[in-house]
Structure 1
Amino acid sequence: MWRQWIVPSVLTLLCVAGLTALLPREEPEPATPTSALCFEMAGGSKSVGPRQVDCSAGEVSYRVALTVESPDWSLDPGACPEGPYLALRWGTGDTMCLALSVREGDCLSYVKPRKGTKPGELGRTDCTNEPYAEVRKVVTGERLSCGPGQKAVHYSQPPLTICLEEL
C-alpha cells in the first residue's frame, strides 16, 4: 500500500527542488567600504601592498577616499577619479580608492619588498630614517599650488592637495 505513494512523492520532491533551484535568489549586498578603513604599506617577501590597520594607529598611510562601482570581476585602477589613488578591491566588491592620510610634518619613504630593490608605494616613516619627503602642507577643498621646490599631490574627490618637499 505504501509503495504506491513513493513514486509520486519522490517526483513531487524533485519538481519542487528543481523549481527552487531555478528561481532567482536575492544575494545580500556586500558591505560598502567607508572612509573608516585605513591602511599602511607593508613590504612582503617580493611585493608591497596595503595592510588594513586601526585608523587610530600611528602607522596609517592611506585612507579610503571613495568607493566606485566595479561591475566586473577585475580590478580596474582607472575606475578611480583623477589623482594618484591606489585602487584596492576585496573579492567581488567595489573598488576602493585610497588617498594618502598625512599631516603637516609627517615624513614619507618608499616601502620596499624584503627581497629586491624595486621601490613600492609611499608610506609614513620616522623622520630620522632617511625619508624621501616631508609633508609641508595639507589642504582640503580647492586645488592649490605648492611652494617652490615642493611637489604637489592632488586628489580630485574629495578635493585634497598635499605639498611634499623631497629631502
Structure 2
Amino acid sequence: MKHVASSSLLSLSLSLTALLGGCLEPMADRPSLARRDVELRDRQAEAKAPPPPIESVTDPALARDLTALLARADKAEADFAMARSAAQQAVAAAKNASVGSEAWSVAQTRISALDAPRRELTQLLGDLEVLYVARLEKEAAGEIKAGGAAQVEQTRSHVLALVDSQDSVITMLKSGLAS
C-alpha cells in the first residue's frame, strides 16, 4: 500500500510541475484577450446615424443597388418599430404574470413577431457581404474604379448597427418576462 501511495504522490507532483511549467511560458506568444477596437464601437449610435450618402457613389449601378438595399433596411426597421411597440405593450401587461399564462403567451408571441423584420436585416447583411466581396474582386482586377467597396462597407456597418440595436431590444423584452 505504501508503494502505491508514493507512486501516486510522485505522479501527482510530476503532473503539477508540468502544469505550472505551462504557466511560466512567455505571454507574448499568446493572443491578447484585450477588447479589440471593433468590440468597443458604439453600435447604438451607429444605428441612429444616417446611412452613408449614396450621391457620392460614382458608379450608377452601385448607387442603384445601395439605394435599393437601404430602402429594404428602412422598411425592415419600420416593421420592427411597429412590432416592437406591440411587444412592449404585451410585455408590460405580462409583467407579473406567471409562465404559461395567457398574458405571458401573448407577450412571447409579440416578441417572436420581431424576428421577421430582424431576419430581413440579416439577409440584407448577407447581400451586402456578397456585393462587397464582388466589388473588391473587381476593383483588385482593375475592372472598375476603386472606391465603391468603401461605400458598400459603410452601408454594411449601418445595417449591422441596426441589427445590433434590434438584438438589444429583443434581449431587453425577453428579460422583462418571467422565465
- Fold conserved (TM > 0.5)? no
When the two structures are superposed, what TM-score results if normalisation uses the length of structure 1? 0.24
How does the TM-score come out when normalised to structure 2? 0.23
Greater fraction of residues in strand: 1
For the pair shown, which has the larger CA radius of gyration, 1 or 2? 2
Structure holding more helix per residue: 2
